[in-house]
Amino acid sequence: MLRGIAALAIVGAALAVAACGGGGDESAATVVPAGCDQVSKPPPKHRQLKRPPQTIQPGEGLTAIVDTSCGRFDIRLDHARFPKTVNSFAYLASKGFYDNTIFHRIVPHFIVQGGDPLQNGHGGPGYTVTEPPPPSTTYTKGTVAMAKTPVEPPGRSGSQFFVVTAVDAGLPPNYAILGKVSSGFEVVKRIGTLGDPGSGDAGTPLETVVVRRITIRGGG
């Protein structure tokens, strides 16, 4: 199954694929859907950070507020099971790492992927963390996980993340879980309509969708 194993080698490795996905058919012009602002693609940012110390405490309830040019969605972060992954994501958000980045890979009815400062699927924060998921892990609608290249071990992540829009993405348990969309999934679905169906799993966006800011809130 293409999207099961072979293609989701592509997920973090949209690192190799998303940037090669060329534009779609120019005759297939899209209309920015209601709820989305028409925005320009931000310039790439070259940032290299040091791996952060573990600062998030056990039992600390955290939510990521993701403000985009298509609206806001919230991610309930799974710190209990993936403390290193969540700690790194929260650190990057606190540094403004995700500000003015794009969803560089949008595969309709599958996933939307962002978190790359280079805006092309090849970037990261300059460090990685590794937190393998349990063998029973599944990637169902609303799951947010970290992307990686095919050659990296299970659970390896940098800054790129993806949100599952399929009922079940059918992926192997190779991708560290960040959490699950707790509100605003209609925004994720809206973003998910903006992938060029002709680009297959490369997921070439038809329109630019910008992550304006990710804010981490505690409690609740």
DSSP string, 127-157: --EE-PPPTT---BTTEEEE---TTSPTTEE
Tens-place pLDDT, residues 83-135:
999 999 999 999 999 999 999 999 999 999 999 999 999 999 999 999 999 99
What does the domain layout of the chain look like in residue ranges?
A: 7-20+61-218
Rounded distance between C-alpha atoms, residue 105 and residue 102, angstroms: 9
Nearest to 74 by CA among 159, 198, 215, 184: 184
Fold of 7-20+61-218: Cyclophilin (2.40.100)
Rounded distance between C-alpha atoms, residue 193 and residue 160, angstroms: 20
Structure tokens at 119: 């805006």
2 pLDDT higher than 90: no
Rounded distance between C-alpha atoms, residue 15 and residue 159, angstroms: 12
Q: What is the pLDDT of residue 10?
A: 44
Model pTM score: 0.87
Min mean pLDDT across 3-7, 38-42, 122-126 is at 3-7
Rounded distance between C-alpha atoms, residue 59 and residue 219, angstroms: 10
